[in-house]
Every structure is written in structure tokens, then in C-alpha cells.
Amino acid sequence: MTNASSAPQAASDATATTGAAPMMSAASAASAPSAASAAAAPANGKAPWETVPVTVKVNGVSHGPMDVPAGLMMIDWLHETLGLTGSRLGCGQGVCHACVVIVDHADGSSETVRTCITGANYFDGKTVRTVEGHAVRDADGNLTLAPIQQAFLDHFSFQCGYCTPGFVNAATVLIERLKRHPVARADLEAAITEGLNDHICRCTGYVRYYTAVRDVVLKTPGCIKDVK
Ligand code: FES
Ligand code: FES
């Protein structure tokens, strides 16, 4: 069991600043499975090494246009070009969801997208949030974690923390969705399961992740229909 002082800060800025090398970092592009989304395929029929112009807004900052190899996976672009190393490469095959980022849509909805099997070119013109985008730092440099990050720390939800960026992003999408489309209290457990079910953690029994998300949902006004 970890504690707040040794934990990777709910995978926020600490994961971005530790410089820890992501597992299997060289494997992602080459090992994209056949089940990968069409977005993982090189754009415009180009060979993987040919470049395409990409512009992406990440955590409120616009990057590009940059010439990006058509076969480069988004997680490698985040890590190697933008220096955003908080997103974790776990399986590299689209299974564990450790690598997901949030894509925000113009209608106010959002979704998570796996960056290990999705080419950087897919994100051209899109608005993205990574795990580094959740905490807020004030003018004095003091960091305030997002409620879900703080809850994961408070509940000791993780041990190694490798899966945590994915859980932070998935839980954020879930909570924001519940604010737009509240559920009855009786349906909350199912909603949490649906929101987190794709995420694999190899250290814990998931219970503390689910408990933390439930606590944040119940404390967030507007997520539950029948709570006064
Ligand atoms: S690292 Fe992307 S799904 Fe596992
Ligand atoms: S805390 Fe180690 S993989 Fe989830």
C-alpha cells in the first residue's frame, strides 16, 4: 500500500515530471494490432514514415501544425515531442487503457481515446486533455489536484500508479457525463462500472478506485437525480 507522500500524485504533474521511462515505449507503433481502430492506420494512404501536418490543442495549448510521421502513435508524440509523459504505455495493444487521453467535442461531450493504438494524425484539429491537464497551479506555484485525483490519493486507490492516469481520465469523463445526464442513485454503481470497466489495474482490487469515484460523484452537485 502506498501513501500520499510516496504516491505519484494521482498521476498528475508528478508522472509528468518524474522522467520515468514508459514501458514498451518503442513497441507501440510497430505492434499496433489488427483490432486497432482505423485511426491507427497511416493517414491518407501514406507510408508510416511519411509525414502529415498535425495541429492539436492539448491542455489548452495549441501545438502545430507539425509534420508528424503517419505511423506515429499519439502516445509517442505526447512523450517524445510534447514532453507530456504522464500518459502511461502499458500493454501497447489497446487492452489496458492506461494510455487514454480525453478528447473534448464541440457539443460539450467528451470521450477517452487509447493513444497506444491511435495515430497522432487522428487528433489533428481535436481538443485533448491529458493527465497533466487536471491539476491547477496558482501564481505561487501551489498545486491543487482535481477532486478525483485527490480522492484517489485519499482512498489509497493505487499502488504503483501505472494505471492511474487512465483511471483519472476515465473518471473525469464519467463525472462530466453524469453532470450532463444525471442518473438515479440506484443506477450509480452500474454507471461507475460502465465508466471504469475497460481499465486494468495489476496491483489493486479496483475497490478503492470505485469507492473514490463514488465519493466524488456523490459530492458533485447535479450528478444524481434523486439526491436532495
Ligand atoms: S497501453 Fe494503450 S491500451 Fe494498454
Ligand atoms: S496501481 Fe499498479 S497497475 Fe494499478
Atom of ligand 1 nearest to the CA of 91: 4
Which of 9, 201, 208 to probe ligand 2 with, by most ligand atoms within 8 A of CB? 201
Q: Is residue 1 part of a domain?
A: no
How far, in Å, is the centroid of ligand 1 from the Cα of 176? Answer: 23
- Mean pLDDT across 152-165: 97
Rounded CA separation 6/126 (Å): 35
Which pLDDT score is estimated for 12? 38
**CATH no. for residue 186?**
3.10.20.30
Which pLDDT score is estimated for 23? 36
How far, in Å, is the centroid of ligand 1 from the Cα of 16? Answer: 17
Strand duo 127-129 + 51-58: pairing: parallel
Q: Grade residue 46 by pLDDT with cuts at 50, 70 and 90.
A: confident
Is residue 132 a contact partner of residue 123, using CB atoms and an 8 Å limit?
A: no
pLDDT at 126 over 80: yes
Looking at the structure of the chain, the number of domains it has is: 1
pLDDT at 116 over 50: yes
How far, in Å, is the centroid of ligand 1 from the Cα of 108? Answer: 25
Strand, coil or helix: what is 87?
coil
For the entire predicted model, the pTM comes to 0.82
The DSSP output letter for 64 is E
pLDDT in tens, 56-74: 999 999 999 999 999 999 9
User: Starting at the edge strand that comes first in sequence, how are the strands of the sheet with 100-104 ordered?
Assistant: 61-69, 51-58, 127-129, 100-104, 110-114
pLDDT at 163 over 60: yes
Print the domain residue range for 192: 7-225
Which pLDDT score is estimated for 44? 66
Atom of ligand 2 nearest to the CA of 157: 1
Element (DSSP H or E) covering residue 70 = none
Q: Is residue 192 part of a domain?
A: yes
Rounded CA separation 176/169 (Å): 11
Q: Is 92 in the pocket of ligand 1 (CB under 6 A)?
A: yes
Q: Is residue 2 part of a domain?
A: no
Q: Grade residue 41 by pLDDT with cuts at 50, 70 and 90.
A: low
Q: Is residue 87 part of a domain?
A: yes
